[in-house]
Amino acid sequence: MQNKFQNIGIILKPDDPSATFALNTVTRVLQNHNLSCCINHTEHKTDNPDLPVRSFEEIGEDCELAIVIGGDGTLLHAARKLAPYGTPILGVNLGRLGFLADVSPGEIEPRLQEFLSNHIDIEERFLLETLLIDHHRTAHTLLALNDVVLHNRELARMIEFSTSINGNFINTYRADGLVIATPTGSTAYSLSAGGPIVHPSLQAITLVPICPHTLNNRPLVIESDSQIELHIKAEDTSHSVLTLDGQTRIRLEQNTHIKVRRYPKSIRLVHPVDYDYFDILRTKLRWGYQAGI
């Protein structure tokens, strides 16, 4: 059976010397299979200095697979860049076991051999699309795979904002902020703020208030096709910030209108055939472990 991946883009975590070993292992395996590969920048030394350098856009347009070497943060960045192209993404984790990048450096070669023999599991995850509409009625669009977080950029100061879903008023919050999370992001900031863990197969969005002033403001789970609108109290806008995936940070201007909805295209994560989401949860959250054992 011919391998479905012929052109492969490699995306690296910048400024991480440990990526060099993984990069050399990946390129050796791919070239042994006579596959074409490229990288997204040249900051790392490689056994093959002639590898072509391509932008995210070129990788998205020309490659059937993107291998992300880094960790969950690197994969989040790559996912937002590659989302418009539907390029499958395989994550190689350089640090601790990740929720998204689930291939460790020590198993790169055998796992790649499996993938190149089409022994793979491809899982779709949806993203959130955020529209920021300023006082000039100009719309700016931003993507997030994990979460969109409205919060205060000043320490220990609440903000007041109202929330509507599909045009229906839901609540006015006085809180440190709000986490709007996908199932992928339910194990990130949302979990720290008291939100539920949502299985990635569910088509749902969670709204989790951060340190709400009123204790009856609880996390809310809604359909993924819902449109969420946030209106911030005018005097609170100047010290409010919107953060996407913990990586993109936008300082809000007065009268900025925020809309969050599901992005029409999904990303595709490539997993080993024995991938087990619950096994990752048990390992990361230490479920079933007993103190002193």
Q: What is the CATH number of the domain that holds 253?
A: 2.60.200.30
Residue 195 has pLDDT above 80, yes or no: yes
Indicate if 153 and 59 belong to the same structural domain.
no
CA R_g for the chain: 21
CATH code of 25's domain = 3.40.50.10330
Indicate if 198 and 235 belong to the same structural domain.
yes
Phi, psi of 56 (to 5 degrees): -60, -40
Whether residue 248 is contained in a domain is answered as yes
Indicate if 111 and 166 belong to the same structural domain.
no
Residue 225 has pLDDT above 80, yes or no: yes
Q: What is the mean pLDDT of residues 252-280?
A: 92
Indicate if 112 and 133 belong to the same structural domain.
no
Indicate if 150 and 256 belong to the same structural domain.
yes
- Token match 């949806």: residue? 126
Whether residue 293 is contained in a domain is answered as no
Which positions are annotated as active-site residues? 72
Residue 54 has pLDDT above 70, yes or no: yes
> Per-residue pLDDT tens for 123-161?
999 999 999 987 766 778 999 999 999 998 876 679 999
Indicate if 94 and 27 belong to the same structural domain.
yes
Indicate if 60 and 174 belong to the same structural domain.
no
Give the three-state DSSP class for 280: helix
CA proximity to 159, closest of 227, 219, 238, 220: 238
Residue 72 has pLDDT above 90, yes or no: yes
pLDDT at 188: 95
- Domain range for 132 is 127-264
Residue 293 has pLDDT above 70, yes or no: no
Indicate if 137 and 240 belong to the same structural domain.
yes
Residue 17 has pLDDT above 80, yes or no: no
Indicate if 100 and 143 belong to the same structural domain.
no
Phi, psi of 249 (to 5 degrees): -125, 125
- The whole-angstrom distance between residue 266's C-alpha and the CA centroid of its chain comes to 11
Whether residue 50 is contained in a domain is answered as yes
Whether residue 245 is contained in a domain is answered as yes
pLDDT: which is higher, 238 or 270: 270
Distances in Å between the Cα of 272 and the Cα atoms of 24, 214, 256, 281 are 21, 44, 43, 16
Q: How many domains are there within the chain?
A: 2
Asked if residue 147 lies in contact with residue 181, where contact means CB atoms within 8 angstroms, the answer is: yes
Give the three-state DSSP class for 146: coil
Percent of the residues in the chain that have a pLDDT greater than 90, as a whole number: 64
pLDDT: which is higher, 263 or 157: 263
Indicate if 189 and 252 belong to the same structural domain.
yes
Whether residue 280 is contained in a domain is answered as yes
pLDDT at 1: 44
Neighbours of 274 (CB within 10 A): 9
Phi, psi of 226 (to 5 degrees): -75, 150
The tokens describing 219, both together, are 């996390």
pLDDT at 47: 59
Give the three-state DSSP class for 88: strand
CA proximity to 66, closest of 117, 110, 122, 109: 122
The tokens describing 113, both together, are 């051999």
CA distance 241 to 106: 40
- Token match 């006082």: residue? 135
Whether residue 1 is contained in a domain is answered as no
> Per-residue pLDDT tens for 35-53?
999 999 765 556 567 789 9
CA distance 111 to 120: 9
Asked if residue 182 lies in contact with residue 112, where contact means CB atoms within 8 angstroms, the answer is: no
pLDDT at 161: 95
What's the mean pLDDT when you consider all of the chain?
Answer: 90
Give the three-state DSSP class for 116: helix
Q: What is the mean pLDDT of residues 1-5?
A: 64
Whether residue 66 is contained in a domain is answered as yes
Indicate if 187 and 108 belong to the same structural domain.
no
Residue 120 has pLDDT above 90, yes or no: no
Indicate if 163 and 83 belong to the same structural domain.
no
Residue 212 has pLDDT above 70, yes or no: yes
Whether residue 291 is contained in a domain is answered as no
